[in-house]
Structure formats: structure tokens, C-alpha cells
Amino acid sequence: MAVKQFLKCNVCGKEFEEAVKTVCDECFGPLKVQVNLEQAKEKLTKSVLAQRAQSFWRYFELLPLNEKRNIVDIGTTVTPLVKAERLGKLLGLNNLHVKNDAVLPTYSFKDRPVTVGASKAVEFGYRVFSCASTGNLAASTAAHAAKAGLQCYVFVASNIEESKIASIAGYGPTIISVEGIYDVANRLANEAADKYGWAVMNVNVRPYYQEGEKTLSFETCEQLEWKKPDAVVVPVGSGSLLYEIWKGFEEFEELGFVGKEKVRFYAAQGKGASPLVDAVKNGGAIKPYKEVHTIAKSIAMGAPGDGDAAIRIIRETKGGGESPSDEEILEGIRLLAQTEGILTEPAGGTTIAALKKLAEQGAFDANETVVAYVTGNGLKTVDAIPKAKRASVKPKIEEVDAIIANAHLKQ
Ligand SMILES: Cc1ncc(COP(=O)(O)O)c(C=O)c1O
Ligand SMILES: [Zn+2]
């Protein structure tokens, strides 16, 4: 039987058998997984998909795992694609949708790559999971390790929110907080992977782990009734998510599930940590940041690992990018919560703030289908939200009357 998947260099195209391997022997380019689409086509049709449960692993034929018994699944599901009528109206967009990954089991999109990375790590025979993280990946890795009954060590950047640390700790991993920014934690995780023989999700099993992210575009197409959107806005840290969303659209096109129309890609990064958006705007190469300063900490990375792939997509699809300030990010969080009822973390606020700026610049036609990817939950980052205003009363209805009268005046 033909192989289900192989590794392919994203720079020179050289192919390798599946293995724990991340860079090309020829040119040191990053390796990506390529699933055998011809083989998948024989089993997977639109009508087969229509009969499957709304769970993440409904795309098994398109994911780089050989045996279903190796699946580590904490209940990751298809997430809602919400037609954002009220937010769209404010932004002059008649077909705006929000893909809400804040509802996944560990409250961020990271459950998608981690269910694949963890399953593949089990298939390769690893007994310990690890990762380098800005917070969300660590929670997901620890949850999957718990589910698989394996040990877990997570490296986190020392500047992340206290509430995020708490959410990781609940799953019981050893948390190693590394002094410095994410990029430093990532280097240390690399060293530990070599020294201790762990499966580090975003390091040595990265090509497999990343493949989980493309399911976001599979779901988007199905939810748009087998159509691609015209444009997408994606939060960017390393650039992996943006690259994989693009790859998912390409694969669905190759399978004949959607047409050949191109999707424009727009990147969202926080001002103070926007190496990719800077390069998009000035047309040059990506210049890494040594320090990062933004409240969007989960996407604050100095040197985007998949930046070259991401920028190529943005340029080829004639998309763009925006890098909102902290105030604009907070406004983005409020805007989404108060128009669509979705509370997101600053990474999602960055996406909505970038969407707003881009809409104001005329990046989208009013009737185009635009999808904004909201990738993390606001309850994980309560520290980022300014102290909530509240009205305190004695238990007397007259005091409530006064507040209501006042609220009406403000409307
Ligand atoms: C909530 C959230 N959104 C987006 C991203 C960006 O993903 P990537 O590093 O693949 O660009 C991250 C990364 O950790 C994240 O936590
Ligand atoms: Zn190569």
C-alpha cells in the first residue's frame, strides 16, 4: 500500500520518509508533512464527511497518523462559524463570519495541532510530552499528556499572564518558566528535546503537530457550504497557523471539494511585536524583534519560525496585515464581546482590531465573505482586562432604580 504521508522540504521540495525530522538535509529548509491526497480521495467524499460526527478526527484520512488506536483526543470538536451580523454592520461588511475556536476543550485553537502532535508522538513511541509556549500550547499539551497518562514538562515565557499559568497548572505538568521572551524558551525546549528524548510538540514533532491547524480551513469551507471565503484575518505568532489555514484551502481545492478561487490572507499582530506585519507593510524581509511589548502575549514572538512561508502567502494572495496598539486590542475585545457575545483573549482582540483597521482602509468589498479567526478564550486572560466597572448597591430596589435611570440617560 502507498504511504499515507511523507515529509517535504518547504524550500527545495526534497521528499523524505516520515520520521522525527524537522529540517531538510539538502538546504536546511523547514519540513512539512504532505498527506497522500490521491489515496485520501478514494475514501473521503463530501457525502462521507456529511455522515461523520462533528469531531476533529472526522478528517482522519487527511491527517498524518497511521493507526486510529494512537489517537489522543480530549474531545476536540468542529467549532462554530458565527455569522457576525452586528459586528459586520459596524464595519460595513455584509458577510462577516467569526470562527470561534475559543470554545475548544482547553479554550484555544491549540487543541487542533496538539491532538495530532500528541497522537503522532504516541505512534512514534514517546513517553513524555513537552512544548515551548506563550501559554495556550502549554495548557493543551498538558491536557493531552494527562489524557494519555504520560509525563509532561512545559517551557513558558516568563512574561505570560498569571491566569494563564493557573490554567496550565490545573492539568498537572511540570511548568518551567524561562526568563525572557518566547524565543528564548523555545531554544531551551529544543535543547531539552535532544537531551531527554521528549516529544516537544512545536519542536521535534512540529511538522505533524502543525497539520492539525489546517482543519480550521476544512471546517470553514464546509460551514460556508463548500465555498472558500474571499478573505481571512489570522492572528500571527510564528506564522504556522496562517500557513496551515492556507494549506487546508489548497488541499480541499485539490480534492475537488471547493473551487480554485484564491483567498486573500491578512495577518494580525500586536504593535510592539509585529515583525511579520512590518515586513508586509514595508515590502522587505522580516526583521526579528529582540524584545516584544504588547498585551497580545500569546502571539508575541520575536522571530516568526514560519514567517517566510506566511509572508509568501500574504504577498501571493495580495492580502496584507495590521498591528493594532494595546488600546485598540482592548477595544477589539470589547467590540467582539459586545456585538457577538464572544469573549476572546488579546490575540482575538488583535484579530478584531486588525479587521477593523483593514475594513476602514477599504481592504474588503462590502459583500465579500470575510472570516476572522478567533483563536483563544478571554477567561484565560482576565488579568489583561482593565478592572471591571460595577454598580454596588444595598439590597434596596430604590438603589437599583437610580442605576437604571442613569443607564437610560447614557444610551
Ligand atoms: C490564541 C493564539 N492565537 C494565535 C496564535 C498564533 O499561532 P502561530 O504561532 O501558529 O502563528 C497563538 C500562538 O500561540 C495563540 O496562542
Ligand atoms: Zn530543502
pLDDT tens digits for the chain (411 residues)? 689 999 999 999 999 999 999 999 999 999 999 999 999 999 999 999 999 999 999 999 999 999 999 999 999 999 999 999 999 999 999 999 999 999 999 999 999 999 999 999 999 999 999 999 999 999 999 999 999 999 999 999 998 889 999 999 999 999 999 998 899 999 999 999 899 999 999 999 999 999 999 999 999 999 999 999 999 999 999 999 999 999 999 999 999 999 999 999 999 999 999 999 999 999 999 999 999 999 999 999 999 999 999 999 999 999 999 999 999 999 999 999 999 999 999 999 999 999 999 999 999 999 999 999 999 999 999 888 777 788 999 999 999 999 999 887 655
Q: Is 349 in the pocket of ligand 1 (CB under 6 A)?
A: no
- For residue 202, count CB atoms less than 10 angstroms from its CB and return exposed for 0-12, middle for 13-18, buried for 19 or more: buried
> With contact defined as beta carbons under 8 Å apart, do 128 and 201 qualify?
no
Cβ neighbours of residue 74 closer than 8 Å, sequence gap 6 or more: 105, 106, 111, 115, 143, 144, 147
Which pLDDT value is given to residue 406?
A: 85
Q: Is 381 in the pocket of ligand 1 (CB under 6 A)?
A: no
* Cβ burial 372-401 (10 Å sphere, 16+ → b, else e): bbbbbbbebbeebbeeeeeeeeeeeeeeee
Q: Is 7 in the pocket of ligand 1 (CB under 6 A)?
A: no
Which pLDDT value is given to residue 2?
A: 82
Q: Summarize pLDDT for 329-378 with one digit per residue, the tens.
A: 999 999 999 999 999 999 999 999 999 999 999 999 999 999 999 999 99
* Cβ burial 154-177 (10 Å sphere, 16+ → b, else e): bbbbeebbebbeebbeebebebbe
> With contact defined as beta carbons under 8 Å apart, do 309 and 10 qualify?
yes
Which pLDDT value is given to residue 29?
A: 94
Instruction: Take atom 4 of ligand 1 and give the residue whose Cα is closest.
Output: 235
Which pLDDT value is given to residue 388?
A: 77
> DSSP secondary-structure letter at 388?
P
Which pLDDT value is given to residue 250?
A: 98
Which pLDDT value is given to residue 409?
A: 64
Minimal CA–CA distance to 114: which of 160, 166, 173, 158?
173
CA atoms within a 13 Å half-sphere pointing along the CA-CB vector of 249: 22
d(CA 321, CA 311): 10
Please tell me the number of the ligand nearest to residue 344's CA.
1
Reading the block at residue 147, the C-alpha cell is 489524557
Q: Give the DSSP per-residue string, 101-119.
A: GGGSTTSBTTHHHHHHHHH
> Which numbered atom of ligand 1 lies nearest the CA of 242?
11
How confident is the prediction for the chain on average, in pLDDT?
96
> 136-148 and 111-124 are packed helices; what angle lies between their axes, rounded to 10 degrees?
40
Q: Summarize pLDDT for 106-164 with one digit per residue, the tens.
A: 999 999 999 999 999 999 999 999 999 999 999 999 999 999 999 999 999 998 889 99
Q: What's the gap in Å between 106 CA and the centre of ligand 1?
A: 14
Q: Is 300 in the pocket of ligand 1 (CB under 6 A)?
A: no
Q: Is 347 in the pocket of ligand 1 (CB under 6 A)?
A: yes
> With contact defined as beta carbons under 8 Å apart, do 76 and 115 qualify?
yes
Please tell me the number of the ligand nearest to residue 108's CA.
1
> DSSP secondary-structure letter at 151?
E
Q: Summarize pLDDT for 2-15 with one digit per residue, the tens.
A: 899 999 999 999 99
Q: Is 235 in the pocket of ligand 1 (CB under 6 A)?
A: yes
Instruction: Just give the CATH number of 81-107+210-384.
Output: 3.40.50.1100
Cβ neighbours of residue 370 closer than 8 Å, sequence gap 6 or more: 93, 95, 96, 97, 229, 230, 231, 232, 233, 355, 364
Q: What's the gap in Å between 19 CA and the centre of ligand 2?
A: 16
| CA distance to 14, 27, 213, per residue, from 17 (Å) | 11, 17, 22
> With contact defined as beta carbons under 8 Å apart, do 296 and 350 qualify?
yes
Reading the block at residue 237, the C-alpha cell is 505568532
Prediction pTM value? 0.96
Mutate to test the pocket of ligand 1, among 116, 241, 242 (most ligand atoms within 8 A of CB): 241
Q: What's the gap in Å between 29 CA and the centre of ligand 1?
A: 22
| CA distance to 157, 285, 315, 336, per residue, from 309 (Å) | 24, 12, 10, 29
